[in-house]
Amino acid sequence: MKKFLLYILLLSAPSLVHAQFDKLKDSVVQLYGVVMTADSLKGIPAVSIVVKGRNQGTYSSDQGVFSIVVLKGDQVEFTSIGYKPVLVNIPDTFHGNQYSVIQLMVQDAQYLPATIIKPRPTREQFERDFVNTPVPDDNIEVARQNTSAAKRRLLARTLPASAGEAASTYLRQNATRYYYQGQAPPQNIFNPVAWADFIQAWKRGDFRNNN
């Protein structure tokens, strides 16, 4: 009995696979067409055409022509800057494997608040406001400020030490400790060179509290 059931299953397996393949093949649809403006019927380039729920999409050409493979029952969204989005449903009862559309898109107008431009009452007031109006720095001025000596010293104090700098500091500290091992290390409080460096650092503002 088991051999008979196995034989029946082996005979029916190809037909089941073939049926599933035919069903999948019948559900695939080649969606193509052109995207145009609703008022002037001109092709819209670079329209985003995305199948909702799946990571699948394409763009329209310079003439608004597009082509994409979808499944029956899918929802396809057309979006473009300056136009209202459009959602197209692919009917699941559609017979065939090709579906063409001429998709019209309506411009999405954006209304900004009104701006009223008024002149200055007097020429003297205009000249005063023109001179006192702050002008933002351009890219060259910003780069010059960021590369100044004061800004580089500030960044050097705030940025963490790199791996090479940390290793070099660790090796110098070990070398100093081994050099004065068994005796008291010298005190820089009586070193005039150290005092000169301290005074210069104080004048530069290295010890200033930036908070």
pLDDT > 80? residue 172: yes
Residue range 157-178: average pLDDT?
80
**In the chain, % of residues over pLDDT 70:** 82
Q: What's the domain count of the chain?
A: 1
Residue 87 lies in a domain: yes
User: What per-residue confidence (pLDDT) applies to 77?
Assistant: 95
Domain span at 72 = 24-105
Residue 126 lies in a domain: no
Residue pLDDT, tens place only, 75-90: 999 999 889 999 999 9
Give pTM, 2 decimals.
0.45
**Separation CA 169–CA 164 (nearest Å):** 9
Residue pLDDT, tens place only, 117-146: 888 788 888 888 888 888 888 888 888 888
User: What per-residue confidence (pLDDT) applies to 177?
Assistant: 80
Which CATH number characterizes residue 39's domain?
2.60.40.1120
Residue range 95-111: average pLDDT?
88
pLDDT > 50? residue 162: yes
Residue 88 lies in a domain: yes
